[in-house]
Chains A and B, each alone.
Chain A
């Protein structure tokens, strides 16, 4: 049976609520408190409709669409005068205290409250009293707070607290004084806080870095992009005006990031405009400093430097196209992955697991649907935040199952939480140091990498007796292994999560064994999510390259005329001594990058590369999903995509690539490897048109086109050409519901100027864009699955004075690029090592003391934090944090001659 809306027949959707269903039918029904990812709570009362019992019922009654299932046979009226009047009154009430400051409000032009106000037709103020006012708070570097604008929809606390697990944003007071903020001024702690700017339907929480160079949404030129700050590959939109990247916002992709991105991704883009940016070729002549030169001079110098043996060092943070171009330039044998030591070994292990075993990389939706989870070794909340947020949602599946047994639909948020009171699907966390997921974990294990690997092997052996086990586990560990194994084995959608940040091949293989054992039990490949640190770590692996260590060895073997380093700071990849030695063996160092880091400063030539928002390319994420990012604007100066520089250098070495546009590079790259062949389909090519038109990067209301360059030239310049993509640097072109999902530059629909307009682009499931979520999966389990189990290989940790080093990740500090962004830099903690209480006591160290840390050949003086729960015999070292050198040591000694610092 269908449902009837204003006497028109539509298909019913009993599993959805009426509001969501009406929206997916393309009907306009205003709402505030409902959120597609957070369900219904019935607070704002904005989505009122008239419901009728049957066709004879002429009275009907007002119900809230968000709280009513879209059941078969339902008859409702959206357009009934009584319902319309009530909806207009809801806005009138909300407007009683709203400051009406749209002209100076940063939400203006993309404000859901504006849209809904226009939609309901309320336009005349009748309230004569004064407005209530609030005091605003300082909330840190990411968000502005303007509480007077609040309409009390409760979305902020529901997101921050209920959805993302944050604890320091709350609803205070009551009646019309209800206040959303912190208990006192201070930095919002959660790494999800930035989403409040998108979740808030009006301008209470707005993007603070964006305010420093604010423009209206309609004046922003946008392009679909991919976040470059971890391996998860969240879809974002990069937005520009006047040649400056203004902000990054979430871009819906149901399989990758849904409605939310983390603060590292939202605010990390500051590196693009940071002072460390390279905007012109830099050349060193003789022993002088690097100085800016013209392109011709730079290329001429490059030609000379390249006369001889050349090696190429690629990068996990550069696009496939850039890496491929370098590989073409130097040849397969002289191309190295730009990652060395333990990091390269871990990446190799991931590659082997992904391509040789019958395990499956889950999508975001798969992670959110898991009903038992094991996190082995990886602090995902810090290294792949979006995955951790999805795990957090997955723990709620037990609540949903309990509620469903009581007839409560999953979208009815509060009853689901109440019915499943405190019940969580099992999540086990086995990591060296405490993580932010511990609070929702059913069990926690602390140990060194080897101890964690042994736990993993034991779990696998318990699930499937054919899996190799480990001997001599302590009783506690083997009991825990049994408990975890039983939870995973009895689940219908178990999930194993691991990653490379712990730098342990054994841990990765143990995780794979658990997934393989589960697969044997399930009769299908089980889900195994592996977190990778950089935006194209997986792509680089699939492209194929040898470790950086091999490059060093190559240089030792024979002197090298030139090394071309692509978008990579080698100081983060190898010990200082090795880097110095490498420098001696290489005559000329050429760096192609956008940022002047240590390696670039040591180079003879730096070629200014496009940052993600200034170029196009393909990145492969954790999941093995190839995703295209697009240029948002043409940057000033001599900035070019890395692949263009490299193609030019290749030409000067006599290698004719024949690449006129990105599509040519993609085609050659796809042809180079069976695995990479599908990347052509990651997005439509440059010749794609809709009704003969390109897709417009600028909204139709983009203002000042004829005036914005008038200070330079009174004539309006011709918009830049774009040979590489089907997008236009113009407001002219197609924009609308037919834009292919991978090409949507921003979300907007008639009457829906805010990001809430996403629903106009979704298919009927609400989990995918119409036409499918963007990206193509390159690795599916099965075809090449030739490996049954990995051997259990984890020796017991050594006893004695030495501590096992466990790398510490920091959600803000671990990413090289985000750390250069000023607001993110404010959130990075000072580097310190972490020690368990027993080990600290044994060494006479108290919390806050500075100690001498011997890490192989490196010796550092760092403050020590004493953290309860840290496994005995381990030392957490903040690898990758700004100011920290590269460290490969597996063991460390902490000197007893500590000096008292400021006790914390």
Chain B
């Protein structure tokens, strides 16, 4: 089975330096692209490959790039940003790529910048990823020394300056427009869309923001072709995916597997099934802002479309597993506390609605719930939905809650009726 993204990563060992990376075939894609391919060729390759954004929304990467204004009179400069602000609860896939193979990301960024005509690129890194920051700094210096970054890359007319920006640490910075605001030194508040960043982005100029894992796929697509990339997936969705599992499973972890690997295989083979004494109850397939899936969904392939069909989202592909001994109300309370705290405070439903939700869940969890609280929670899941809030933060926060209210209705009702948590 091919594992292009993690081929160079040895758990417990430091990442390859630039020599090691080049020895294992690294930067070949950059050499090839600059000598043989036009930016449009790279763009077409990525479109053909069917690569979809690995940050959670699954938007086709090539499409995103294609929205960049083209032609000689298009605004310049233009920017590429790697979104490395990995703060989704239960998600730690980009961290592996950043700490384990930094040159892979840099190579992906050089190729992507080439495709979109960007001369300046940023890695926007989560504050807590201190080790990744160190790793990246070293790698960027190495790549610059070897002429992969800076002016006239490999003697060509192409230049790229790559900067590492370590975030001050807010979940909302993962939202691409809030990320751009933060990078400009402003409050991390999402921006109005449209206009999309490809038209009006960083410093008002055309900008593409891609997830780390997305960018890491690009060198392999350039090296091996679109057809190869499409063939990696088990379903109509292309490539491999970093999947993860956390919770009361035997082997919590992270695995690179073909896109479309069924949930059951992930859960039972790779994560080793539930720990002894615990039974599977439900899971959040791709981080905290996805809907719960339950037993009946376990044979669903983990790809963007299949998971959407059963009422959730692939998200980051790193699942959080809920067992039968953990109170789902407490779990939701914990999640909504996170979301309430991470609201940027810009729009009313999110800023004041999420603390309301948190308050209701806290009350129910503490045995102080009232029968009407469930209707109030449902009201919030409706009114904090897409289109009603300024960005996708609150709608994301409502996904586990709305499915939780459906799947764990009995638990909620028992909390309220018995005026206590039955799990304690």
Contacts and interface: CB of A to CB of B under 8 A. Distances in A.
Interface string A719-753: 00000000000000000000000000000000000
Given A129-B359, A418-B191, A152 B387 contact: no
A154 B353 contact: no
Given A174-B343, A176-B355, A418-B200, A42 B379 contact: no
Contacts of B191: 414-415, 418
Contact of B341 (A45, A175, A406): A175
Interface residues of B, number: 38
B71 to A, nearest CB: 14
B112 to A, nearest CB: 23
Best-buried of B187, B204, B340 by chain A (most CB within 10 Å): B204
Contacts of B356: 93, 96, 127
B85 to A, nearest CB: 15
Nearest to A85: B383
Best-buried of B170, B341, B356, B389 by chain A (most CB within 10 Å): B356
Interface string B384-403: 00011110000000000000
Nearest to B344: A174
B345 interface: yes
B200 A406 contact: yes
A869 to B, nearest CB: 26
A50 B160 CA distance: 46
A97 interface: yes
Contacts, number: 112
B348 A175 contact: no
A105 interface: no
A62 interface: yes
Interface string A402-416: 000011100010110
Interface string A86-113: 1001100110110000000000000000
Interface in A30-63: 41-46, 48, 61-63
A177 interface: yes
Given A45-B390, A67-B192, A421-B203, A96 B348 contact: no
Contacts of B345: 152, 171, 173-178
Contacts of B252: none
B363 interface: yes
B66 interface: no
A437 to B, nearest CB: 23
B390 A43 contact: yes
B347 interface: yes
A175 B388 contact: no
A45 B355 contact: no
Contacts of A408: 195, 200
Contacts of B200: 406, 408, 415, 418-419
A45 B192 contact: no
Contacts of B353: 89, 93
B390 A42 contact: yes
Contact of B344 (A151, A175, A418, A421): A175
B342 A42 contact: no
Interface in A112-161: 126-129, 151-152, 154
A781 interface: no
B376 interface: yes
B420 interface: no
Contacts of A658: none
B204 A43 contact: no
Contacts of B390: 42-43, 45
B199 interface: yes
A93 B345 CA distance: 13
A161 to B, nearest CB: 11
B340 A175 contact: yes
A112 to B, nearest CB: 15
Contacts of B205: 421
Contacts of A128: 359, 363
A746 B200 CA distance: 42
Interface string A162-186: 0000000001011111100000000
Contacts of B187: 171, 174
Given A175-B341, A415-B192, A44 B347 contact: yes
A754 B386 CA distance: 32
Contact of A415 (B188, B195, B346): B195
A864 B347 CA distance: 49
A418 B204 contact: yes
B26 to A, nearest CB: 36
A824 B198 CA distance: 49
A45 B345 CA distance: 13
Interface string A262-298: 0000000000000000000000000000000000000
Interface in A166-223: 171, 173-178
Contacts of B195: 406-408, 415, 418-419
B40 to A, nearest CB: 23
Contacts of B194: 415
Nearest to A42: B390
A455 to B, nearest CB: 32
A713 B200 CA distance: 70
Given A89-B383, A406-B200, A421-B203, A178 B192 contact: no
B349 interface: yes
B383 A86 contact: yes
Nearest to A157: B187
A849 to B, nearest CB: 39
Contacts of B340: 175-176
A414 B348 CA distance: 18
B368 to A, nearest CB: 8
Best-buried of B192, B353, B354, B363 by chain A (most CB within 10 Å): B192
Contact of B352 (A94, A126, A420, A421): A94
B388 A86 contact: yes
A422 interface: yes
Given A96-B356, A178-B351, A421-B203, A43 B192 contact: no
B349 A176 contact: no
A812 B46 CA distance: 63
A63 B387 contact: yes
Nearest to B370: A128
Contacts of A62: 387-388
16 contacts: A42-B347, A43-B390, A62-B388, A86-B383, A89-B383, A96-B352, A174-B343, A175-B345, A175-B355, A176-B340, A408-B195, A415-B192, A418-B204, A420-B204, A422-B203, A423-B204
Given A175-B351, A176-B340, 19 more contacts: A90-B348, A93-B348, A93-B352, A93-B353, A94-B352, A129-B359, A171-B187, A173-B345, A174-B170, A174-B345, A175-B341, A175-B342, A175-B344, A176-B345, A406-B195, A406-B199, A408-B195, A415-B200, A418-B195
Question: 7 shortest A-B CB distances, which residue pairs?
Answer: A421-B204, A93-B352, A178-B345, A175-B343, A129-B359, A419-B200, A174-B345
